[in-house]
């Protein structure tokens, strides 16, 4: 069974999609931008600020599904300007300080006006049974 993840304090979907889905122990989040959920506005024009807000938004959704950033296994990152990769990467690295980092793909994309970054994640709730041959835990 698939459950919708839409907790209070999370940004509202801007189109016909779900902010997050929980299916079994797997969590699939739609791309998150640097929008303040209270105002619906971008937090700033700065990529580091937007990246920090992206991960605050992701954390709200993950917590509602019983997980945290420690449970993220994969990130898909869209940057509006690949020239800002180093600044983005420094902010991103703060989100995953441990030795095991999620798998990641970063691409250049046309984003909504003013958006510098969008991140989609896949996570696995703690306590799930690993696939055959996969190591348990992070």
pLDDT in tens, 53-79: 999 999 999 999 999 999 999 999 999
Answering whether pTM is above 0.85, one says: yes
Those residues of the chain that have pLDDT short of 50 are 131-138
pLDDT of residue 136: 42
Contacts of 16 (CB under 8 A, 6+ apart): none
pLDDT of residue 129: 54
Contacts of 39 (CB under 8 A, 6+ apart): none
pLDDT of residue 138: 39
Q: How far apart are CA 44 and CA 8, in angstroms?
A: 22
């Amino acid at each position: 069974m698939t459950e919708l993840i839409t907790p209070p304090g999370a940004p509202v979907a801007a189109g016909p999609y779900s902010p997050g889905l929980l299916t079994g122990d797997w969590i699939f989040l739609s791309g998150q931008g640097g929008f303040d959920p209270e105002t619906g506005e971008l937090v700033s024009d700065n990529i580091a600020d937007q990246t920090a807000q992206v991960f605050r938004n992701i954390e709200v959704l993950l917590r509602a599904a019983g997980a945290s950033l420690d449970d993220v296994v994969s990130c898909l990152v869209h940057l509006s300007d690949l020239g800002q990769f180093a600044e983005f990467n420094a902010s991103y690295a703060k989100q995953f300080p441990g030795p095991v980092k999620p798998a990641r793909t970063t691409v250049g994309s046309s984003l909504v006006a003013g958006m510098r970054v969008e991140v989609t994640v896949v996570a696995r709730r703690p306590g799930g049974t690993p696939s055959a041959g996969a190591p348990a835990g992070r």
